[in-house]
Amino acid sequence: MKRIILFVFGIILLVLIPVLAVATPAAPTVSQFDVIVTAADAYLNDPNPELNISSKDLLSAMLADGSYIISERKPEDYATGHIPGAVNLPASVLFKPENLAKLPKDSKIVPYCYTGHTGSQVTAMLNMCGYNATNLLWGIMGWTTNTTVANKQFSNPSTDLPTETTANQLTGTYNLPSVNVTSATSELEIIRIACDNYATAGLKNIAAGNLSALITDGDPNNDPIIISVRKAEDYAKGHIPGAVNIAFTGIAKKENLQKLDPDKQIVVYCYTGRTGSQATAILNVLGYDAKNLLWGMSGWTTDPVLAAKRFDPDTNPDYPFATGAGEAVPTIPNGDDGSCG
């Protein structure tokens, strides 16, 4: 009798196991796009954002608690002159595991470049990776007036390019890009590799003259999607012809991303190029082909209403700088294995 009971029980299990397997839904798989867009949106909507830091505030921070400063400039320019204490880790190598292992997790990280554009893109990606990073406003040209060290200076555009006040809208709906950068399942590793892929390939910018040529060549197939991430009231005063307005904090919202054709080039601009740079980095890591407009609206027009924010060399500080190649970048004691976060 016991054998019969066990036999019947076994038959019941054989019948129930596949039924239960069908009845119990598998946990939904989160796409790599979703992993990245979630991290990007969380950074953009941080309740206490610190996108940029001035040279004056950085100097105070250095004297107080010592921020970790990263020069994104070429090694030869770093050797010519750099902020004292800064290490040289260009964007093309920064997101390699062995270099991320050198970054502190308990200190403010301040990337800087020549003018603030590259530093801004790096800042966005470091924050997506879980670090606490803030871009140095204006880069090295906001630190010193020495034009040998600050060898890429902004000068007002010689030509005022056209603007318009007509509000433009994106009316299409498109599939979101498919992102597949790794077989790893770690969310932080997915973000790191996506950032590394973009940074290694080269960060993307476009000059005002080249953008103007694209939108005035008579070929609509060349026209990029132009996104202004300036405030709505400033967009209304005047913007680049054809530009649409998407708030900086909304650039990683799916309802906005679905309006962007992933097969078209995108140009993002802001006031001076720094916020646009951060949005550009995020879009590229998400699989779009985006470029930042160098100098933003201040590189497009001299109109003081439309380009009220611009670099003013006459009010620039002139802080000391160090020279030489410096020592090897130290690995942080008790650091991590080079993963994000």
Q: What is the pLDDT of residues 134-161, one digit of tens each?
A: 999 999 999 999 999 999 988 878 889 9
Same fold, 32-154 and 187-313: yes
Class in CATH terms, 187-313: alpha beta
* Contact yes or no for 266/243 (Cβ under 8 A): no
Beta-carbon contacts of residue 312 (< 8 Å; ≥ 6 apart): none
b/e sequence 118-154, b meaning 16+ C-beta within 10 Å: bbbbbbbbbbbbbbbbbbbbbbbbbbbeeeebbeeeb
* Residue 22 confidence (pLDDT) above 80: no
> For the chain, which residues make up each domain, given as ranges?
32-154, 187-313
* Class of the CATH-defined domain 32-154: alpha beta
Q: Which two tokens stand for residue 275?
A: 């916020």
How many residues are given for the chain?
341
Place of tokens 């003259």: 209
pLDDT band at 336 (very low <50, low <70, confident <90, very high): very low
Provide the sign of the torsion angle of the four alpha carbons 302, 303, 304, 310, taken in this order.
Answer: negative
Find all residues with CB under 8 Å of 157, minimum gap 6, and list them.
208, 295, 299, 300, 301, 302
Residue pLDDT, tens place only, 219-239: 999 999 999 999 999 999 999
